[in-house]
Amino acid sequence: MAEWFADFKTDFIICFVEKNRWKFIVNGLGNTLKITLFALILGIAIGVIVAVVRSTWDKNGADMRRGFGRGLLRFFNGICKIYLTVIRGTPVVVQLMIMYYVIFAASDNGVLVAAIAFGINSGAYVAEIVRSGIMSVDEGQFEAGRSLGFNYIQTMRYIIVPQAFKVVLPALANEFITLLKETSVAGYVAVKDLTKGADIIRGATYQTFMPLMAVAIVYLVMVMFFTWLVGKLERRLRSNER
Amino acid sequence: MSDNILIQVEDVKKYYNGEKIKALDGVSADIKKGEVVVVIGPSGSGKSTFLRCLNLLEAPTSGRILFDGTDITDPRTNINNHRQHMGMVFQHFNLFPNMTILKNLTLAPIKLRKKSKEEAEKEALALLGRVGLEDRANAYSSQLSGGQKQRIAIVRALCMNPEVMLFDEPTSALDPEMVGEVLDVMKQLAREGMTMVVVTHEMGFAREVGSRVIFMDEGRIVEEGTPSEIFDSPKSDRLKSFLAKIL
């Protein structure tokens, strides 16, 4: 047993202490959080817009007066549908590589490109979550808003979307947790995220167990923390309604 | 056209599914300023559709609706501006559950009338006081009874200082013991000279407050007149049999 501990200590020093290798983990974690946070914001922005366009078309497209407005809405709805199909129909690693090697080939800011790629990817999933939330808000809420004189966009903004958000907040939080773990493939395009940090240590020290376990634990702790936070949030939302 | 007419409905039709369902089949009516028009009729007679056409929550298939002389069925008319002057009260209240009562009342005045928060809140509280609910300003709608919710919904519409109030079966979703408190608020409004169009099953209210009663069936106006003409000496057989069943 004492021997095992001694080995563990030696390995630990090789992996994290020597040459300040712990910095790969800490800096990687920083990049992972940066990518996740930026992607989350971008994803929610895209998701809400797509969800509003899609649900507007689904609810009103059939009875709208034929004309410019309907044509425009139909066009945007078509674009949103293509976006959802393409993004949800291809692996995120492929999207990431297309972003990095094709679309933003001139950029050397890997973290930003990864954040944009994950944001666009996440937007598709957020859109469907928010759309289900919008559809779940009672039609009477919408009529009440319109009868007061709010136009369609104002009704969405002040009345429907805040209520929809409340309904889907737990689902959105889960999407955030999924996103956090998904960013671990950012290393594919030379981004030094948390996973890549462990990989660099593995390559430099020929140690496999220690660095990989370490990042696994870091991910697990983060996910457990956010899951706990989501649970707390859900309980608070529920108590507000009573 | 007389200056006195606030809403003029001209041969309005509303069809669903092509022409299969005729919710409104050629309805014309004038609503004068200060009048309380009560619309009665069996369910499915089109009375709610008629009311919802007045502020274009339902777009008529054909016909015209003039509000204050403006054709609001014209696509070039900005209906949102006109809706600000037409308060509406729904059967199911439709209060915003995620906001406090005060926020419910002040949202539209602040965002649409560009009132300051203080001014809007002061007016809202004054109106709340008139329905006896100023102490519930910071409550959420889920904490209120049905009758309280409906009184708040009336106040929410009044906060926009409308020229006409549209009531879509305002007491149908209430427990019987709460109907009275809502009708009292509506009676008070009527006495103050508010123009009102009320779809209801409350025949007592129609008789007491209505300046005119419209009886609808199968998407048409079958008979209209003063409450005593409608209730005491109905002419059409359809109205007679309707009254026989409900009175």
**Which domain CATH number covers A108?**
1.10.3720.10
In three state form, how does the secondary structure of chain B look? Answer: CCCCEEEEEEEEEEEECCCCEEEEEEEEEEEECCCEEEEECCCCCCHHHHHHHHCCCCCCCEEEEEECCEECCCCCCCHHHHHCCEEEECCCCCCCCCCEHHHHHHHHHHHHCCCCHHHHHHHHHHHHHHCCCHHHCCCEHHHCCHHHHHHHHHHHHHCCCCCEEEEECCCCCCCHHHHHHHHHHHHHHHHCCCEEEEECCCHHHHHHHCCEEEEEECCEEEEEECHHHHHHCCCCHHHHHHHHHHC
Question: Running DSSP on this structure, what letter comes out for residue A138?
Answer: -
Residue A241: predicted pLDDT = 57
CA pair distance B17, B22, nearest whole angstrom: 9
Say whether B142 and A144 touch across the interface (CB within 8 A).
Answer: no
One-letter identity of residue B132: G
Burial-class residue B189 by CB neighbours within 10 Å (0-12, 13-18, 19+): buried
Residue A78: predicted pLDDT = 95
Question: Running DSSP on this structure, what letter comes out for residue A20?
Answer: G
pLDDT tens track for A50-92: 999 999 998 877 767 777 888 899 999 999 999 999 999 999 9
Q: Is the backbone of residue B12 left (phi > 0), alpha (psi -120 to 50) or beta? A: beta
Residue A88: predicted pLDDT = 95
Residue written as tokens 């519930």? Answer: B136
Q: Is A47 a member of any domain?
A: yes
A74 vs A21, higher pLDDT: A74
Interface pTM (ipTM) of the complex?
0.91
Say whether A144 and B95 touch across the interface (CB within 8 A).
Answer: yes
Residue A194: predicted pLDDT = 87
Residue B3: predicted pLDDT = 65
- Say which of A63, A140, A162 has its CB closest to residue B94: A140
Phi, psi angle pair for B168, to nearest 5° = -105, 95
A209 vs A44, higher pLDDT: A44
pLDDT tens track for A211-241: 899 899 999 999 999 999 888 887 877 766 5
Comparing C-alpha atoms, which of A156, A158, A160, A150 is closest to residue B81?
Answer: A150
Least confidently predicted of A67-76, B26-35, B72-81: A67-76
Res B226 pLDDT > 70: yes
- Say which of A138, A143, A150 has its CB closest to residue B80: A150
CA pair distance A129, A136, nearest whole angstrom: 11
Q: Is A14 a member of any domain?
A: no
Task: Indicate which of A59, A147, A165, A240 best probes the interface with B, i.e. most B CBs within 10 Å of its own CB.
Answer: A147
Contact B91, B168 (CB under 8 A): yes
Residue written as tokens 């549209």? Answer: B166
Taking the Cβ of residue B16 and every Cβ of chain A, the question of whether any pair is shorter than 8 Å is answered with no
Q: How far is B211 from chain A (nearest CA, A)?
A: 25
Res B82 pLDDT > 50: yes
Q: Which residues of A fall within a CB distance of 8 Å from B55?
A: 147
Res A242 pLDDT > 70: no
Res A104 pLDDT > 50: yes
Contact B216, B45 (CB under 8 A): yes
Res B241 pLDDT > 90: yes
Q: Which residues of A fall within a CB distance of 8 Å from B97?
A: 163, 241
Say whether A210 sits in a helix, a strand or coil.
helix
pLDDT tens track for B38-47: 999 999 899 9
- Say which of A63, A147, A166 has its CB closest to residue B98: A166
- Say which of B59, B80, B94 has its CB closest to residue A149: B80
Q: Is A60 a member of any domain?
A: yes
Residue B1: predicted pLDDT = 47
Residue B2: predicted pLDDT = 54
Say whether A144 and B90 touch across the interface (CB within 8 A).
Answer: yes
Taking the Cβ of residue B17 and every Cβ of chain A, the question of whether any pair is shorter than 8 Å is answered with no
C-alpha B83 chain-centroid distance: 12
Pick the residue from chain A with its C-alpha nearest to B56.
Answer: A147
For chain A, how many structural domains are there in total? 1
Q: Residue A9: which pLDDT band, with cuts at 50, 70 and 90?
A: confident
Q: Is A32 a member of any domain?
A: yes
Residue B129: predicted pLDDT = 94
Q: How far is A165 from chain B (nearest CA, A)?
A: 11
Helical axes A209-241 vs A194-205, angle rounded to 10°: 170
CA pair distance A119, B184, nearest whole angstrom: 55
Summarize the confidence of residues A31-36 as an average pLDDT: 93
pLDDT exceeding 70 applies to what percent of chain A? 97
pTM above 0.90, yes or no: no
Res B219 pLDDT > 90: yes
Q: Is the backbone of residue B237 left (phi > 0), alpha (psi -120 to 50) or beta? A: alpha
- Please work out, in degrees rounded to the nearest 5, the angle formed at the alpha carbon of residue A46 by the alpha carbons of A65 and A85: 75
> Average pLDDT over chain A, rounded to whole?
89
pLDDT tens track for B141-168: 999 999 999 999 999 999 999 999 999 9
One-letter identity of residue B197: V
CB pairs under 8 A between A and B: 66
Contact B87, B76 (CB under 8 A): no
Comparing C-alpha atoms, which of A183, A153, A190, A158 is closest to residue A33?
Answer: A183
Q: Is A120 a member of any domain?
A: yes
Say whether A154 and B111 touch across the interface (CB within 8 A).
Answer: yes
Q: Is A51 a member of any domain?
A: yes
Q: Residue B10: which pLDDT band, with cuts at 50, 70 and 90?
A: very high
C-alpha B100 chain-centroid distance: 24
Q: How far is A159 from chain B (nearest CA, A)?
A: 7
Give the residue numbers spanning the domain of A153: 26-241
Summarize the confidence of residues B108-112 as an average pLDDT: 96
Q: How far is A136 from chain B (nearest CA, A)?
A: 14
Comparing C-alpha atoms, which of B48, B42, B4 is closest to residue B167?
Answer: B48
Least confidently predicted of A126-130, A196-200, B165-169: A196-200
Q: Is A16 a member of any domain?
A: no
Task: Indicate which of A148, A153, A163, A169 best probes the interface with B, i.e. most B CBs within 10 Å of its own CB.
Answer: A148
Say whether A220 sits in a helix, a strand or coil.
helix
- Say which of B75, B92, B111 has its CB closest to residue A158: B111
